[in-house]
Every structure is written in structure tokens, then in C-alpha cells.
Chain A
Amino acid sequence: GAGVSQTPSNKVTEKGKYVELRCDPISGHTALYWYRQSLGQGPEFLIYFQGTGAADDSGLPNDRFFAVRPEGSVSTLKIQRTERGDSAVYLCASSLSGAMGTEAFFGQGTRLTVV
């Protein structure tokens, strides 16, 4: 597809379980971002990749959250020992040059529900 693709679109998991959320960026986009949008809030920055490396992971809330992008394309956001407070829509975006402004395109998000 031409856009940013996120899978699954919905994920329900039990408290304490491990989840992986996948992001397929637009082909050729070197920059990739993860954001999290909790109910009633705006998106909140989690992590930014330039190529394979995490250029800025200052938004990850704690060490239960981890993200990888081993080949500089697909990225996986991993959450260990999920908590109910992790329930949110997780958004991925990609851009060609690393500028988050005009060039970044968001996926539709993965809605994570921790029960």
C-alpha cells in the first residue's frame, strides 16, 4: 500500500501480558515515529528512529516499553507486563527526511486495550 500501515488495528490483551505492535512505513522513508494517544488526549511522543537507530527515545514512559527497527523499515513497539494504563491508540508515522512537520504521514493506529 501507499500509506503507513499498522497491525493489528485492534488488540485486546490481559494485564501482565506481552504485546507487539507493528508499523510498516511508507517505502523509502528513513524516519519513523511512534506516538501514543490516550482517551481524551492528544498524541504523545514515544520514540523516533532515523534508519535503524533510535535517535530519540525520551518519550518512552518506562522500561516496559521498547521499540526496534532492525532493517530500517518495519518497526515493532514492544510492551512487557502490560498495565491497564497502557490502553491507548498507538500511532506510527514516517517521513522521508526526518522532519516531523509537513512530510510526516501517520498510520491509522493500533487500539490497545488492556483488561
Chain B
Amino acid sequence: DQQVKQNSPSLSVQEGRISILNCDYTNSMFDYFLWYKKYPAEGPTFLISISSIKDKNEDGRFTVFLNKSAKHLSLHIVPSQPGDSAVYFCAASGLQTGANNLFFGTGTRLTVIP
């Protein structure tokens, strides 16, 4: 049972435009959410996170939005750059589900077209 879902396997965006990656979750016990970026032949690298007490967290070009009632979060990248091309994973955890046990989505491959 996939508790974290990324329904778009791929996304293509023009350089300079906004990229919006979406993620849905089913377990209401999740209270911490993260986005990871993965290049080929490398491990995932942490990008940005958000706690359930917030609805927005911003770091430079990256902003994560959390809608708890809809169990939905999104990652906005603006402006998108060719170097952003990678697979993006959404992940979630909770104290009651195991704080060190991250549940990952299946990933969205972002391609930023120069």
C-alpha cells in the first residue's frame, strides 16, 4: 500500500518557468515531509522540508506548500534551471510511524528544457 504518491512520473518545463511537483499522502500520522532530488548514479540529496505545523517553507528558488486537510504537498521551483533536471522524491515521516522511517513516493522526473 503506497502511503505517499506522486502521480506524475514525469514533467517537462521551459527554463525560466515555474516547475510544480505534486505529492499526496494517505497516513494522517505523518507530520514531517521532505523533498529529495536524485541525479543518475547518485544517492538522493535532501532539498527542502516542512513540518505539519506550517503550510509553507521557502528556500531560495524552492518552496514547499502543505495542505493538511487535502493531504497534499507540492514543490515549486522558480525560475527553473536546466541543472534542476533530476528525479524528485517526496517523503514523509511521523513520530508514530517511526521518525527514522521515511516513506517515499515513486518520484517525478523533471526535465528543464533550455
Q: Which residues of A contact B (CB under 8 A)?
A: 4, 31, 33, 35, 40-45, 48, 55-56, 58-59, 91, 93, 98-102, 104-109
Contact = CB atoms under 8 A, between A and B. Distances in A.
A100 B49 CA distance: 11
A33 B100 contact: yes
Interface stretch (B13-21, B66-74, B78-86, B104-112): B104-112
| Chain B: number of interface residues, binned into ranges | 20 to 34
Given A106-B45, A108-B43, A109-B43, A99 B99 contact: yes
Given A42-B106, A100-B93, A91 B44 contact: yes
Question: A-B pairs with the 6 shortest C-beta distances?
Answer: A106-B43, A42-B104, A48-B100, A45-B101, A100-B100, A43-B104
Contacts of B42: 108
Contacts of B106: 40-42
Given A42-B4, A101-B34, A56 B44 contact: no
B43 A31 contact: no
A8 to B, nearest CB: 13
B32 interface: yes
Contact of A56 (B4, B32, B98, B105): B98
B102 A45 contact: yes
Contact of B101 (A48, A98, A106, A107): A48
Contacts of B104: 35, 41-44
